[in-house]
Amino acid sequence: MNPRGANQPNVDPSLHALAVPETSLVESLGSIVDDVQQIATDLGARPYRVFSVTYRWSGGDVGRGLPEVISETELLPTPETSSMTAIRRNLLAGGTVERGGLTLKYVSPRYSEDQLDDLCFGTQECQGPGVQTFIEVSIDRRDGDRTRRRRFAIAAAPYRDVDAMSWRIDMIKQDADRSPSGVPGGVPSNRDPFSVRR
């Protein structure tokens, strides 16, 4: 016989789901959390900027023709990134490639999951054949203008970390980084008109 009997928590009338989650204390503090994260940016403690970048390929399919940058949106306030030491350089016959994953932490709680999906995978208007969206991470200009732009794909669904009052997004490294001036990967540098300036 079960010593707890019928005293299951799901039949306890004092327990219930949050009736109006959008007006909870945690939700109401979203703008304050963003202000605190902005202080970290202003102090120089968020060196890695994060962008959603969308290409359109002139050939109608990804990889065919030339890519044009049709949108570039920065995630604000600047998220914190996990250690770049998780990105490893593998030596291959033709040179080195970077492999590994990165986590974006303290992504604004004021984003909805749908809005993050749009940033990570492209809006409805920016989807279809020949269009691709990815996340790009680059250090700010403290080291000069020729900063490395690293390209990532989203590895898992965004996680709303309520304890940290923010979102967490796991990413995996992709090839074909853009050049420091914004030229899409694999495109000769004299095609700079295809880049979008920051």
Give the model confidence (pLDDT) of 89-104 as tens digits.
888 777 788 899 999 9
Structure tokens that stand for 66 in this block: 């030339």
In a domain, residue 121? The reply is yes
Domain that holds residue 35: 25-177
Report if residue 12 sits inside a domain. Answer: no
List, run by run, the mean pLDDT of 10-residue segments along the chain (198 residues). Answer: 69 80 81 93 94 91 88 95 87 82 94 91 74 92 86 92 92 92 68 42
**What is residue 128's DSSP assignment?**
S
- Tell me whether residue 195 is in a domain: no
Total Cβ atoms within 10 A of residue 149:
19
Does residue 32 belong to any structural domain of this protein? yes
- Pair 112, 22: CB distance under 8 Å: no
Phi-psi region of 106 (alpha: psi -120 to 50; beta: other; left: phi over 0): left
pLDDT for res 81:
93
Question: What confidence score (pLDDT) does residue 188 get?
Answer: 47
Cβ burial of 142 (10 Å; 0-12, 13-18, 19+) is exposed
Residue 90 lies in a domain: yes
Report if residue 190 sits inside a domain. no
- Confidence at residue 126, expressed as pLDDT on a 0 to 100 scale: 66
Residue 85 lies in a domain: yes
Please report the pLDDT score of residue 144 as a whole number.
Answer: 83
Say how many domains are in the chain. Answer: 1
Q: Is residue 40 part of a domain?
A: yes
Helix (H, G, I), strand (E, B) or coil at 129: coil
Query: Which residues touch 170 (CB under 8 Å, ≥6 apart)?
Result: 101, 102, 103, 154, 155, 156, 159
Question: 36: helix, coil or strand?
Answer: helix
3-state secondary structure of 23: helix
Q: What single-letter DSSP state applies at residue 62?
A: T
Alpha-carbon distance 37 to 128, whole Å? 35
The pLDDT assigned to 173 comes to: 94
